[in-house]
Amino acid sequence: MIQPVIAIHGGAGAMSRAAMTPEKEQEYLSALDGILAAGQAVLAAGGSALDAVTEAVRLLEDCPLFNAGHGAVFTSAATHELDASIMDGATLRSGAIAGVDCVRNPVLAARKVMEESKHVFFVGEGAEAFAREHGLDIVDPSYFSTDARREQLLRVQRETPGAAVLDHDGQALVANSQPAPAEPLDADKKLGTVGAVAVDAQGNLAAATSTGGITNKQVGRVGDAPLIGAGCYASNRTCAVSTTGTGEMFIRMVAAYDVAAQMEYAGTPLVEAARRVVEDKLPAIGGKGGLIAVDAQGNVTLPFNTEGMYRGYARVGEPPVASIYR
């Protein structure tokens, strides 16, 4: 009998421990714990892995602490462009959307694409029209904005005009006159995506990923989050994976699928396959970030090559475990 388990992430990045209060760190850990508990409850009630990851990512999208849905980062034009994907490991069905700015929960739209469409991927106005047709919650684009994200955009534009924030190793982008960032991971140097993976009591796997993109990105840019195989992948034959990091590098490495391919074609165990991608292959091309993965036996791994990653897992019948730093 498989012990169902869910894992989630809320982005990887550089530490700002010196500027962070214990209260702020606890705020993030409490948010992760609560979302893990909600996904765990779905599995404990006999729900599917697909339902568990959908619920976890929906809650991550609704939480302004993370870069997806409400609290999404701004593009260079001070707009929002949201992306999401989901995959069912039992059937290999998948759905994705990209470049939307009025769908409250992009992960729900991605799931509707998977279940109600003969296609896999919708973008922009077509994705928004599809969401409307299927009765999803449509909001004004201002819903996604928060004061903290707007200040983040202005700070980046002031300090590094024209640059999208990707590099964790660069100089801090906060001017001397600005207070230091108060988040556990420096918001100006965080690669923000959210995601969830799970295995249910039937041994079925699922993965979902959602993002607001990267601060000050060029309008129209799409990263790895909505791309099946790059930012999201699930197959009952191997594993379920959701990634977070420098999206362009995860796309070039087909990072999520790479973990599954190593398992299927070389018999590599989950933990080692994920380690190779995160610690060996991605850094070779400058890729930073991490991933979460679970296999059909309930093994879980959450590797990252940055200083921290918002992450956690919860097995049915056990307390959730949430972490930020190494």
Is 277 annotated in a binding site? The answer is no
Phi-psi region of 234 (alpha: psi -120 to 50; beta: other; left: phi over 0): beta
Across the range 230-239, mean pLDDT stands at 98
Whether residue 300 is contained in a domain is answered as: yes
Marked catalytic residue, from 54, 75, 193, 306: 193
253/82 Cα distance (integer angstroms): 22
Whether residue 233 is contained in a domain is answered as: yes
18 membership: H or E segment, kind and range: none
Whether residue 200 is contained in a domain is answered as: yes
Asked about 215 being catalytic, the answer comes back as no
What are the structure tokens assigned to 301, written together? Answer: 């791994």
Verdict on whether the full-model pTM lies above 0.85: yes
End-to-end CA distance of the chain: 31
**257: exposed, middle or buried (Cβ count in 10 Å: 0-12, 13-18, 19+):** buried
CA distances, 139 to each of 74, 127, 185, 264 (Å): 17, 14, 29, 42
Is 243 annotated in a binding site? The answer is no
Whether residue 150 is contained in a domain is answered as: no
Strand order in the sheet with 300-301: 232-234, 239-245, 289-295, 300-301
Length of the chain: 326
292/199 Cα distance (integer angstroms): 13
**Domain span including residue 17:** 5-144+184-325
Q: What is the pLDDT of residues 81-95, one digit of tens each?
A: 999 999 999 999 999
Is 244 annotated in a binding site? The answer is yes
Whether residue 94 is contained in a domain is answered as: yes
Number of domains in the chain: 1
Is 224 annotated in a binding site? The answer is yes
Whether residue 205 is contained in a domain is answered as: yes
61/86 Cα distance (integer angstroms): 14
What's the pLDDT score for residue 239?
A: 98
The CATH number of residue 73's host domain is 3.60.20.30
120/295 Cα distance (integer angstroms): 24
Whether residue 171 is contained in a domain is answered as: no
What are the structure tokens assigned to 89, written together? Answer: 């490991």
Is 287 annotated in a binding site? The answer is no
Q: What is the pLDDT of residues 263-313, one digit of tens each?
A: 999 999 999 999 999 999 999 999 999 999 999 999 999 999 999 999 999
Return the bridge partners of 176, or none: none
104/283 Cα distance (integer angstroms): 34
Q: What is the pLDDT of residues 139-178, one digit of tens each?
A: 998 999 888 888 888 888 888 766 665 322 222 343 333 4
Q: With contact defined as beta carbons under 8 Å apart, do 247 and 225 qualify?
A: yes
Q: Classify 66 as helix, strand or coil.
A: coil
80/25 Cα distance (integer angstroms): 26
Whether residue 178 is contained in a domain is answered as: no
Beta strands in 157-256 (DSSP E): 185-191, 194-199, 205-211, 232-234, 239-245
325/223 Cα distance (integer angstroms): 24
Is 221 annotated in a binding site? The answer is yes
Nearest Cα to 169, choosing from 291, 7, 313, 288? 288
pLDDT at position 53 over 60? yes
